[in-house]
């Protein structure tokens, strides 16, 4: 029985106008790392983010990996504050569907590979935070537990007091689909930037998700 939904945040609920990952790294992150005596090229950083390299890999550059990621997350929060000031953090037009999903009695959680502080900041300024029963970002005690690892999804399930077969994972990327799948959930790919192979359901937008959920809830009625 479907009782809850776990959402990805960036590129599923909100986006950053003009964002470019490499440009963000070169302009925002690299200068801050240099202040700490760290020289790290973009490709190596990218591989640690995508999971091709473990997050602890950066220790070969002479810094504790937890401290490294805390530095990056402070930069990320400052970046988001600046983007918010410039009006460049945008909620997708269909996020109003979240309210409808709440009205259907579903428990909702949000999980992100960004820090919890960054994630809550973005949800807050987008007037979405209040709809979620639980919000999780990367966990400094398990930095490789980010999606596609199921760790954050499993944390959200526990917080919602749901079993894997009682929730769906909703996101835009292959990492969301894999994390949900590995946690034992059905997965929904919101096809904002192209279809991700392997999802159980596909929707063009969140209003289509509402219709899919209604259909599922209707089929569960006695």
Output the domain CATH number for residue 99: 3.40.50.1000
What distances in angstroms separate CA 32 from CA 12, 37, 91, 143, one per listed residue?
28, 9, 28, 20
29, 61, 85 — which closes off a domain? Answer: 85
What string of pLDDT tens digits covers the 222 residues of the chain? 999 999 999 999 999 999 999 999 999 999 999 999 999 999 999 999 988 999 999 999 899 999 999 999 999 999 999 999 999 999 999 999 999 999 999 999 999 999 999 999 999 999 999 999 999 999 999 999 999 999 999 999 999 999 999 999 999 999 999 999 999 999 999 999 899 999 999 999 999 999 999 999 998 765
Same structural domain for residues 27 and 119? no
pTM of the predicted structure, to 2 decimals: 0.95
Same structural domain for residues 122 and 169? yes
**Residue ranges making up the domain that contains 108:** 4-15+89-220
Same structural domain for residues 109 and 134? yes
**How far separated are the first and last CA of the chain, in Å rounded?**
12
Same structural domain for residues 104 and 135? yes
Total domains in the fold of the chain? 2
**Residue 63 has which token pair?**
């810094």
């Amino acid at each position: 029985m479907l009782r809850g939904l776990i959402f990805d945040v960036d590129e599923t609920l909100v986006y950053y106008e003009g964002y470019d990952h490499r440009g963000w790294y070169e302009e925002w992150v690299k200068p801050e790392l240099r202040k700490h005596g760290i020289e790290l090229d973009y490709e190596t950083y990218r591989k640690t983010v995508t999971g091709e390299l473990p997050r602890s890999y950066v220790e070969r550059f002479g810094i504790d990996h937890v401290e490294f990621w805390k530095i990056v997350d402070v930069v990320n929060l400052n970046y988001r504050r600046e983007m918010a000031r410039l009006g460049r953090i945008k909620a997708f037009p269909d996020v109003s569907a979240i309210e409808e999903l709440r009205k259907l009695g579903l428990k909702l959680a949000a999980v992100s590979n960004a820090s919890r502080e960054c994630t809550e900041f973005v949800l807050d300024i987008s007037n979405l935070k209040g709809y979620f029963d639980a919000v999780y970002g990367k966990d400094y005690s398990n930095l490789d537990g980010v999606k596609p690892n199921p760790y954050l999804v499993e944390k959200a399930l526990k917080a919602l007091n749901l079993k894997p077969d009682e929730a769906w994972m909703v996101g835009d990327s292959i990492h969301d689909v894999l994390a949900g799948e590995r946690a034992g959930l059905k997965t929904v790919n919101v096809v904002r930037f192209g279809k991700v192979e392997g999802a159980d359901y596909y929707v063009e937008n969140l209003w289509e998700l509402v219709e899919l959920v209604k259909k599922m809830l209707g089929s569960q009625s006695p």
